[in-house]
Amino acid sequence: MTAPILILGTGLAGYNLAREIRKLDKTTPIVLVSRDAAPFYAKPMLSNALAGGKTAQSLVMKSAEKMAEELDARILAHRQVQAIDPAARRVTLDGGESLDYRDLVLALGADPIRLPLTGDAAADVLSVNDLDDFARFSARLEGVKHIAILGAGLIGCEFANDLLARGIAPTVLDPAPWPLGRLLPEAAGAFFRARLEAAGATFRLGVAASTVNKGASGYRLELNDGSLLDTDLVLSAVGLRARTSLAASAGLAVNRGVVVNRQLASSDPHIFAVGDCAEVEGLSLPFVMPIMQQVRALAKTLGGTPTDVSYPPMPVLVKTPAIPTVVAPPAPGQAGEWTIETTEDGLEALFKATDASLKGFALLGSATARKQALTPQLPAQL
């Protein structure tokens, strides 16, 4: 029997890779391993599920059984991977079972970064990185009037907006001077903040929480400017770190993510990586569009046609209904300048190089209508 293509992970990267493989190849066995129940759901929806009245159950688009049937694949749920033996092309699972593979794909995702908080309730701080996390989080919302969100990045701001839809007032804390600091220039950050504050959110910027203690009811946060903040619940959304330890233990090259080339191959020619755990030619982009570009290319490569992944311009939608936002940040180190145009109900920020070519943008409110016209002017990302 032919050894299968073995995919570790059943998030958007793992499942969409299997789907793309099956479009090209109906016969090669595919095995997917998941540490959870392996439902198919879209992770980006976790931070805007409440407004739509979604629950952890209704976020599931397809069960593992349904996916197994559709993909004609074997899905091993609730299994942990212990080790990879690249020389033997074998993966060991918990319990000692081993699986041989023809090619192995790491679609392991990323872990939420946890701040080094002190206090007797530091372990109560929630983060929402998968469907099971979301179930725990939404179960805690009953009776909650106020929430403290650590991190004013994309996920923190999306949750802030989503919680408002449930009548919960969020206070968003971040050491950065304005929200979406890595995506927006200052003026756009100020515009974004004002709109979210008008909708009921509060921002505490330039500060960070250092301690979380149990309070009279709920929690009391100590901030590094000496002030206190009482709240009912604390949500951490300070960023992601690629899951690389399994790859590192197997002797693969890792940096911020599992290091792969444009064919998504790691330092071992039969081990590939896609999604949030992968660092493709130095780029780690934890968004859906890069994943889809990766899995389409990798499906072809695994089908016998070596194919480089390309990244067209891929603007990111920030799902904050209070202030719809689309961002295409300039590449790190790109020289140039922002120009900002503000209207009553929108803001357009364009980042142009000295030769006036467009290298990035941030479009807020009514300016989001310019996305289609501007995107083709951006350079390809890879």
Give the total of residues touching other proteins (CB under 8 A): 23
101/361 with CB nearer other proteins: 361
Bridging pattern class, strands 219-223 and 103-106 = unpaired
- What is the smallest separation between the CB atom of 288 and other proteins, expressed in angstroms? 5
Would you tell me how many other CB atoms lie within 10 Å of the CB of residue 249? 12
Decide if 129 contacts 166 (C-beta within 8 A): no
**Taking CB under 8 A as the rule, which mask of x and - marks residues 294-313 in contact with other proteins?**
--------------------
105/259 with CB nearer other proteins: 105
Residues 6+ apart with CB under 8 A from 76: 31, 32, 33, 34, 93
- What is the smallest separation between the CB atom of 360 and other proteins, expressed in angstroms? 16
125/297 with CB nearer other proteins: 297
**How far apart, in whole angstroms, are the C-alpha atoms of residue 219 and residue 338?**
41
- What is the smallest separation between the CB atom of 226 and other proteins, expressed in angstroms? 41
- 190 lies in the binding site for other proteins (CB under 8 A): no
Backbone angles phi, psi at 110, to 5 degrees: -140, 155
**Taking CB under 8 A as the rule, which mask of x and - marks residues 261-290 in contact with other proteins?**
---------------------------xx-
Backbone angles phi, psi at 273, to 5 degrees: -140, 140
Which one of residues 324, 329, 330, 360 is an interface residue with other proteins (CB under 8 A)? 324
102/371 with CB nearer other proteins: 371
**How far apart, in whole angstroms, are the C-alpha atoms of residue 339 and residue 231?**
39
**How far apart, in whole angstroms, are the C-alpha atoms of residue 267 and residue 226?**
48
- 129 lies in the binding site for other proteins (CB under 8 A): no
**How far apart, in whole angstroms, are the C-alpha atoms of residue 56 and residue 133?**
9
Decide if 222 contacts 118 (C-beta within 8 A): no
**Taking CB under 8 A as the rule, which mask of x and - marks residues 53-92 in contact with other proteins?**
--------x-------------------------------
Report the chain's terminal Cα–Cα distance, integer Å. 38
Q: Which residues bind other proteins (CB under 8 A)?
A: 12, 16, 19, 41-42, 44-45, 52, 61, 288-289, 291-293, 317, 324, 326, 363, 366, 368-369, 371-372
